[in-house]
Structure 1
Amino acid sequence: MSRALLAERLAALRGAFDASFAEPARTRAEEPARALAIRAGDRRLLVRIEELAAVEPCRRIVPLAGGPPGLLGLAGLRGRLVAAYDLAALVSGRPRAGVDGAAAGPALRWLLVCAENPEIALAIDEIESHESFSLADVRSADDERGEGAGEHVTEAVEIDGAPRGLLRVAAVAATVLRRAQRGAERLEEDR
């Protein structure tokens, strides 16, 4: 490479470097949010990827009798046990037909491991797609009954012309932990 060409290239790199400081800083709000479009029972929802520690195939769940509502049982993931819950039952508040924690029930395909509580996994039927959306597109789901408005779904985003409820994974995990605590307290009282 000639000296002149090298000097020209160095000047271009210096100019690009200096120009990068003149551009306004990007904020997190400008970056698109990433989510998985999922199906849990008859509910079609979005789950923010940053709220998940992992997505694993649902292989075998060992049922536990007498557990809290929605508990399917225990599943082994990468050498550790997680409590597997039926997300459809947790979001709707009613058990899915044929699933009661002690029965085999329908085959669920995926486990979404909660980022804040990795000992909890949410069993779902299907991952439909990967989606990106602007945070400016997020709106309240309070008036949208078809999106699954409730304590676990308070916001919605329009995807492919239809609204999808945005699941709050931390709220689902908090519900699971509250129910488990109440169950432990009842057992203690019965002793």
Structure 2
Amino acid sequence: MVDLSGSILTLLGISGVGATIAKGTDSQRNTLSAENRAWLLRRNWLPMAKTIVDPSNATWRDFFSTDGVFDVYRYQSFIFGLVVIGGLIAAGVNQLSTFVVPDTILGIVGLSQLVYIGGKLVTPTNISDLNAAISALRSDEQKLKAAAVAAKQGQVMSLAEAIPLVGQSTYDAYRQKARDVAAIFTDATGIVVADASLEPLVT
């Protein structure tokens, strides 16, 4: 077993902690909530089957991009990794316990991590806007259904029955909002929503 020097462990720790925090930030800010995802699946806005990723389509550009967009952090990590690996090769594997990563490199990597994570926290995302829009539309759908049930004083059997109960203007307002949300959804995902999927579910 070969011992690693403290500076190598520090470098690995900085990269590992930064990557973990960045991944958690992405998960929270770039993922639909479970309730919204279920709502989209029930209305066929999202396909049930997951898309299978074909590894044969992987390219070297994937090392430096996230979701097809150039990622400065990944590029920097790759370059710093090459520098450290080059230094380790030059020093020899037997010198790992005494190999010292310059403080300048550690400082640059640490600062890069802070700037990268800070940028993720303050940059607005399309998904966060989409989450909010879908939540509002879900709420409007529930209000429309509740209004129809209250007007009938019983279970509504179809949308055609519900529209006269809540009023054409209320239904039209919901449809317009659904079209707006569908536009945001298509912009964020590239999936076009069928017009029939914009109807509220009232049964």
TM-score normalised over the length of structure 2: 0.26
Higher helix share: 2
Higher strand share: 1
Higher relative contact order (CA 8 A, sep 6+): 2
Larger Rg: 2
